[in-house]
Structures are given as C-alpha cells and as structure tokens.
Amino acid sequence: MTGTTQDDYTDRYARRVRGMTTSEIRALFATASRPEVVSLAGGSPYIAALPLDAVGEMLGDLASKQGATSLQYSIGQGTVELRERICEVMTLSGIHNASPDDVVVTVGGQQALDLLARLFLDPGDVVLAEGPTYVGALGVFQAAQAQVRHVAMDAEGLIPEALEEAIEATARAGRKAKFLYTIPTFQNPAGVTLSEDRRERVLDICERAGLLVVEDDPYGMLAFEGEAPLPLRARRREGVFYCSTFSKTFAPGLRVGWILAPHAVREKLVMMSEANVLCPSAFAQGAVSQYLSTMPWREQLKVYREIYRERRDALLGALDDLMPAGTTWTRPTGGLFVWATLPEGLDSKAMMPRAIAARVAYVPGTGFYADGTGRNNMRLNFSFSAPDRLREGVRRLSGVMEQELAM
C-alpha cells in the first residue's frame, strides 16, 4: 500500500472519523521546518533557554535513584506529589483554594481537553468558543462530533454581548450548548486577553445560562507587563474546569498537563483517563515533580518572560516598519502569538506556498475556525526565533504580500 493515497478502509471508519481530513497545510509544514525557512508558524517554547545540563542530570538521577517508582506504572489521577506541586504552581496564577484531590494529571493540555469532551459532549452538542480558537481544541470537538459556534472577540477578548447572542441563537436552533471553551489569557491564536471587567460578566452570563466553562490557560504565567488578570477559576469554584500544562513553561516533550475540576466530577475524569491512557507517564511526572522541587523554576519563568517580551517587541517593531498598508495585528501582553489581519483581497491560505518559496512560514487563519473563515488572517509566533530572524521573517512575508497585492 505504500506510495498510494487510496484508502480502502473508508467505509469502515466510525462516523466520528468521517469528517476528518488531512490539511494541505500539514504537508507545507514539513517544508517549513527546513533551516532556511524562518518559521513564524509553530507554537514551540524556546527550550534552549532551559539549563539543559542540569535537567539532563536530574533525569538521569530519576532513573538511577528512583527507578522503582519513576519507571513503574503510576495511578490514573497522577501522583500525589505532582498534584501537590501543581497546586503550588497555581497559586502563582492566583488560584489559592485548590485541593490536590481535585487535580487530574493529563498527558499534556491536549488530553485535558479530550477528557472534558468525552465527559460532556454527545454528538450534535454545541460548544461555544472564541473565534478564532486553538486548532487542537477544534480537533477534539470535531472528534466528539460536536458543533462549534464561534463567539467574536475584540482587543479585550471575548465580547460578552456576542456570547449572550450565541447562547440565544443556539437555543433558538433547538440545540444545547454544553460549555464555553475559552482561553481568556494571552489567547491562542489571537494574543488578546479577556479584561478584568469582562471576566465577571462572562462568568455571570454562563452561570445564568447553565453553561459550564472550560478555561484553558497554558500561557497565563507568561505575562510581559505586570501580572495577568485572575483566572476565571480563581473567581468561581463551581462550573469552571481549569486546564493547564507544563508545555510552555517547562518542556512540551514530557507531555504533562492537568485539569482542576469541581470535586464531584474529578472521579469521572479519572475513569475517563484510565480508559484512555491507564495513567500518565510516571517518568514524566517524576521529571516535572523533581524540576519543581529541586530547580529554580520561578527564576526560569522570569527568563522565559524576558526572552519572549524581547521577541514580541522585535516582531511588533518589524510589523510596524515593514507590513503593507492595510494590515493590522494584535499587541499581546504575554504568551506566544500575534494575530494579523491582511489587507482586503489577500488570502493567507492561498499565499502559503508562495511564502514557503520565499522561505517564511506562518499559520493561515482558517485553521482556527470550524467554519472555514479566517482567510484574511494569519497567526505569527514569536517565541521560537531570535529577534533578527523574526525581523527577517517579516521582511520576507511583507515581500510576498506586496507581490500578491500587485497581482
């Protein structure tokens, strides 16, 4: 069967698989990882900023000194030690009332979303989510055969009136919205943050409508200007599922994330996770626990913030200087991404092969919507490339855009 694209299994796939298509963008990303291409596309943290020698030594110790536990099966909910450490980490974001008993360790932030989808979504259910939203969440909701209805954002994040409207429109269509999926802080891909005032309003609206809130917060600790607003979970204990991950603050390769769930629900989540992966990796959990207990992780966070702030400034400066007139973009105060809106007539998806030929990559906006909109948008990452590379990337990108506009 190698070398052929024909798929003889089509008729046998489960219904939830039938809507899944491989995107042409994925093929382009293989080229985008070549060293001569400036990639503004990924979402990778700048791992080189970690003290890799010390981390390596720690991992060696973990196998040689604690092998009997770190190489053994763990428990479905995750080790007590790590769950205690996670509660300590969450206090930095302003969540002080979490019990380790209500934390479920997951295989990255991605599995957290998958578990919540499995727990709450029946085929045909509606999920409300910011437009645009995290592409990996769209994949999870699609696999659950749920329908995503997007809610508009502006510079202050999700627009409360648009949320109310979306809830009403869903009800009018005779459908049930199960939860709001939101990334309130340093949103992926938009780079905007839900303002203090709107946080309360959004919570009130969801409470009144009986809508659960899934708060995804991988970036909250990467603030560049002061601290991020308090998470939704710090304001409401019930009805809010708080998800986060060590992928952006430590190491995505370890695949360790978590859910802080309302107490009553945590057991079901653990059962879901056991059916799914038995238990998260004991070794990865040991690595994160060791990192948090023996290494200066708070200092490391400051290092990341410094590096990313400098890179954000470099990217925004380059956009200011070089982008064609009519292009606009967000000005994130944390996180990893800028969201750009292109001048009328440009199509970020169609332009992608030409951008790759010009040795620059980005993610076209369409990936972040369930309904194919976003053609005049793109997501630009600033965490991975050094400032001069970011500027060179923008120079190449604006060259491609100028050419398209002249066509």
- Interatomic CA distance for residues 269 and 354, integer angstroms: 45
Residue 231 binds to ligand PMP (criterion: CB under 6 A): no
* 245 DSSP β-pair partners: 257
Burial code (b: 16+ CB inside 10 Å, e: under 16) for 188-208 equals bbbbbbbbeebbebbbebbee
Candidates 106-114, 144-152, 260-268, 282-290: pick the segment binding ligand PMP (CB under 6 A). 106-114
C-beta of 79 vs 188, nearer to ligand PMP:
188
Q: Under DSSP, is residue 129 helix (H, G, I), strand (E, B) or coil?
A: strand
C-beta of residue 132 within 8 angstroms of C-beta of residue 369: yes
The H helix count followed by the E strand count for the chain is: 14, 14
- Comparing CB distances to ligand PMP, the nearer of 253 and 345 is 253
Shortest distance in whole angstroms from residue 61 CB to ligand PMP: 24
- Site residues (CB under 6 A) for ligand PMP, limited to 76-95: none
Would you say 282 or 288 has its CB closer to ligand PMP?
A: 288
At position 85, the amino acid (one-letter code) is: R
Position 332 contacts ligand PMP (CB under 6 A): no
User: What residues have CB less than 8 Å from 7, skipping those under 6 apart?
Assistant: none
Spatial separation of the C-alpha atoms in residues 161 and 202, rounded to whole Å:
9
Residue number with the smallest Cβ distance to ligand PMP: 108
Smallest separation, CB 313 to ligand PMP (Å): 22
Q: Please, which residues have CB within 8 angstroms of residue 113's CB and are 6 or more apart in sequence?
A: 136, 137, 140, 181, 214, 216, 243
Q: Which residues contact 24 (CB under 8 A, 6 or more apart)?
A: none
Is 367 one of the binding residues for ligand PMP (CB under 6 A)?
no
Provide, rounded to whole angstroms, the least separation between the CB of residue 157 and ligand PMP.
Answer: 14
Assess 42 for contact with ligand PMP (CB under 6 A).
no
Binding-residue pattern over the window 135 to 164 for ligand PMP, x denoting contact by CB under 6 A: -x----------------------------
Q: Which of 145, 182, 193, 245 binds ligand PMP (CB under 6 A)?
A: 245
CA torsion through residues 70, 76, 81, 87, sign: positive
Q: Which residue reads 């991605």 in tokens?
A: 110
Q: Tell which one of 134, 186, 250, 368 touches ligand PMP (CB under 6 A).
A: 134
- Nearer CB in complex with ligand PMP: 250/329: 250
- Under the binding rule (CB under 6 A), the answer on residue 258 touching ligand PMP is no
Residues 160-179 that bind ligand PMP (CB under 6 A): none
Q: According to CB under 6 A, which one of 231, 252, 334, 364 is a site residue for ligand PMP? A: 252
Among 45, 100, 108, 220, binds ligand PMP (CB under 6 A): 108
Q: What is the DSSP string of 200-264?
A: HHHHHHHHHHT-EEEEE-SSTT-BSSSPPPPPHHHH-SSSEEEEEESTTTT-GGG--EEEE--HH
Contact between 240 and ligand PMP by CB under 6 A: the answer reads: no
Which residue ranges make up the site for ligand PMP (CB under 6 A)? 43, 108-110, 134, 136, 183, 188, 216, 218, 245, 247, 252, 257
